[in-house]
Amino acid sequence: MQFFWHIVAMICMSIPNILGFNLIFGKGKIFHFGPIGVSTVATYGVFVPLMHGFSYPSAIAIGFVLTMIISLLFAWLALRLEPDAFGVMAIAIHLSLLAVVINWISLTRGTRGLPDIPRFFFLQTTQSFALFTFIIALLWILFLFVLHRGSFGRSLDALAEQLWYAGSLGIDRRWVTVIAFLIGGLGALITNVIYCQYVFLVHPSDLNFPVFIFFVMVVVAGKPGSVPGVLCSLILLTLLREGMRFLPIPSEFIGSLRLLLFGLILFVAVWVRRDTLFPKARSV
């Protein structure tokens, strides 16, 4: 039963971050390859101040401001760079941020991470985590579902299909892009504030490149831009990831096997969706 609550908590706490990423990358078709860069800032932005004596509300407020700033930076770059250049730049920013947190040992303790992360008073058991994250996930799904189906979602769809056509109707690309990135940033903040409490630890290995591959895999396999599809994909792939622990193979091989399997799933998902994954270039 404990494992069931653990799975529920893991899935539900990932939902804000994954659906935020799906809004930008899946629905907006913006080559945002830096969601884990945003997560890095969100995580360290909250827990470094917390470990240096700030209260939870103050630390979360600091983390919120820093997350919005990095989200605005990504939005600004997405508006100014060509899509592929932005993709490369986003990866570069993520890796640079990771290098900073690994090497700024006096502040972040580097690869040793920040241990003994205190939990909210109402999150002392796996069961309470599962219940709390379930409520948060439900609210977030509802929020994003309304957003996807409403005028904001249609504007994002229009911009994803053809920028000039959308612009000629009066759709403000800057406004829509900035809002999408800020929502993505908020999702990253919610997920990471909960996750680090759950594992009592902030560690750079939770913010490295394979985590981004998992994000892309979930969105691509679930159908980019689809909230129900991405949710199903997240549930199945989390079950697969967590279920692999029970395979009768030595534990040191499980990590490598998981990466191989995820790589294969991503390859197949991209292959299947190769015609619809990204917008086709259309002349005016």
Summarize as ranges the residues that interact with other proteins (CB under 8 A).
151, 154-155, 157-158, 161-162, 164-173, 282-284
For 207, 214, 235, 252, the CA distances from 263, given in Å and listed in that order, are: 18, 9, 18, 18
Q: Say how far apart CA 271 and CA 262 lie, in whole Å.
A: 14
Q: Which stretch of DSSP H or E encloses residue 9?
A: helix 2-21
Plot region of 115 (φ>0 → left; ψ -120 to 50 → alpha; else → beta): beta
List 114's β-bridge partners, or say none.
202
Closest distance between other proteins and the C-beta of residue 3, in Å?
41
Identify the CA nearest to 144 among candidates 37, 249, 229: 229
Query: Which lies closer to other proteins via its Cβ, residue 52 or residue 282?
Result: 282
Closest distance between other proteins and the C-beta of residue 149, in Å?
10
**Dihedrals φ, ψ of 118, to 5°?**
-75, 150
Closest distance between other proteins and the C-beta of residue 158, in Å?
5
Closest distance between other proteins and the C-beta of residue 85, in Å?
18
Query: Which lies closer to other proteins via its Cβ, residue 124 or residue 168?
Result: 168
Closest distance between other proteins and the C-beta of residue 216, in Å?
21
Query: Which lies closer to other proteins via its Cβ, residue 13 or residue 30?
Result: 30
**Sign of the torsion formed by the C-alpha atoms of 101, 31, 148 and 264:** negative
Closest distance between other proteins and the C-beta of residue 170, in Å?
4
Q: Say how far apart CA 40 and CA 63 lie, in whole Å.
A: 10
Query: Which lies closer to other proteins via its Cβ, residue 171 or residue 236?
Result: 171
Query: Which lies closer to other proteins via its Cβ, residue 113 or residue 153?
Result: 153
Query: Which lies closer to other proteins via its Cβ, residue 174 or residue 245?
Result: 174
Q: Say how far apart CA 266 and CA 240 lie, in whole Å.
A: 14
